[in-house]
Amino acid sequence: MPRLAVQTALALLINTLIAAFLTAIGVGGGFTVNLVFSFCIGFAIFIPCMVAIRLARGPAQMIAGIALSVVLGSAVGVALGMTLTGHGLEQWTSEHALQALLIGLMFGVGVSYLFYSRERMGQLESELKERELRQALAEKARVDAQLRMLQAQIEPHFLFNTLANLSVLIGSDPERAERLLADLIAYLRATLQRTREAEPTLGDEIELLRRYLDILGLRLGPRLRVAFDVPPELLARPFPLLMLQPLVENAITHGIEPQVGGGELRIAARQERGRLQLTVSDTGVGLREGGSGTGFGLENVRGRLHALFGDAARLDVRSNAGQGVVATVEIPA
């Protein structure tokens, strides 16, 4: 509607200018009569032009509709002007009057072309936006599929390890096996529930990590010591689900578990300068000589970060100050 209102205002202005021009060259019956004729002819062209533009299914139909509107609208407008003013054909038989009518028709053609160009430009912009939207939706679907694939790679990896431990405990320690099974069921139920949420939070991730560590704690016992340092105000922040689990699993499997006395796992979060920083550090055996922080779990995390945030996110893995390894995930807050 705003575009139609602008076009109507423009038609009013042009019709008024035509009436003033006809009056200035001494054609017609004065400004008022000329204004009536100008409005009758102008809007007799303008209205069918707008209808033709709206109903046309292509540029060819649009141009044909505009041409027909100019010819018929001119005849209808003149007849309507005569009816309203009482002026007959004698007012339009002089050479100047015919020239003025020709000028009016030229104005009509020019304005009609202007409207056509604006409408065509609007259609092209709409088509471009629609095409860009389809491309964006296709890209989003591709990224979503990639993320589901990366996330699906993590879950069986952990599940197979847990089931292998469960099979050992069933024969050697049925009570611990029962507890492990109960924790595994609770973890899988919580994971399923949170993966269905539209926007998981850091609090969801921390809760899943606690359940995950409960399962590992049954296997490692006092050799695994866990500390969380996550400010409560950050728990509601949006955060990709299961992003930290591969880092925790790496820290335990390659750092703490091989060490005779075990070690401490520390998960911390902080926000500064508009960025959310999560660290997973351990006091295990540390990076092997020549280690570069690569592997299935780390590459999975890097792939998800890149799919979600592009170059705005990073994963850094390095030796911990003192002992072990520290992995840092940094994303826009």
The predicted structure's pLDDT at residue 256: 92
- Is the pLDDT score of 52 beyond 50? yes
Indicate the residue type of 102.
Answer: L
- Model confidence, pTM: 0.54
Model pLDDT for residues 158-178, shown as the tens digit of each residue: 677 778 878 878 878 888 888
- Is the pLDDT score of 216 beyond 70? yes
Q: Which fold, 173-332?
A: Heat Shock Protein 90 (3.30.565)
Q: Where are the domains of the chain?
A: 2-129, 173-332
Dist CA 52 CA 48 (whole Å): 6
- Identify the band that residue 29 occupies on the pLDDT scale cut at 50, 70 and 90: low
Indicate the residue type of 265.
Answer: L
In the chain, at which residue ranges do the beta strands (DSSP E only) sit?
224-229, 263-272, 275-282, 314-319, 325-332
- Is the pLDDT score of 83 beyond 70? yes
| Number of alpha carbons in the 13 Å side-chain half-sphere of residue 144 | 8
Model pLDDT for residues 97-133, shown as the tens digit of each residue: 555 556 556 666 666 666 667 667 777 788 888 888 7
Residue 138 tokens, joined: 């296709």
| Number of alpha carbons in the 13 Å side-chain half-sphere of residue 273 | 2
- Identify the band that residue 292 occupies on the pLDDT scale cut at 50, 70 and 90: very low
Rounded to a whole number of angstroms, the distance between the first and last alpha carbons of the chain is 40
Mean pLDDT over all residues of the chain? 78
Residues in the chain: 333
- Are 140 and 308 spatial neighbours (Cβ–Cβ below 8 Å)? no
- Identify the band that residue 87 occupies on the pLDDT scale cut at 50, 70 and 90: low
Q: What is the DSSP letter of 289?
A: T
Indicate the residue type of 332.
Answer: P
